[in-house]
Amino acid sequence: MCLAVPGKVVEITPDALGMNMSKVSFGGVLKEVCLAYVPEVQVGDYVIVHAGFALSQLNEEEAMEVFALLNEIADTQAE
């Protein structure tokens, strides 16, 4: 139930209630996703999707943090 997957927004269209619906690509597989909870998201952005809803926009800068820590650890080991 926690399973949510990152995907890339390829198309956005507002629905009958004025909410943004979208097509999101998961490695080529397209699914319909509601963007109501991530209103600033644009085509080309990456989102975390769960059960047809985008819950967050993936932050590229923060995404690199994992690797920054790894380099830190590698440096400590080298000493």
Q: Under the rule (CB under 8 A), what is the footprint of other proteins?
A: 1-6, 8, 16-17, 26-27, 31-32, 34, 36-39, 46, 48, 50-53, 55-56, 58-60, 62-63, 65-67, 69-70, 73-74, 76-77
Distance CA 13, CA 43 (A): 11
| Least spacing, CB of residue 31 vs other proteins, in Å | 8
CB of 3 to other proteins, least distance (A): 5
DSSP calls for 13-67:
EE-TTSPEEEEEEETTEEEEEE-TT-TT--TT-EEEEETTEEEEE--HHHHTHHH
In the complex, the smallest distance separating the C-beta of residue 76 from other proteins, rounded to whole angstroms, is 8
Nearer to other proteins, 12 or 48 (CB): 48
* CB-CB contact of 18 with 36 (8 Å): no
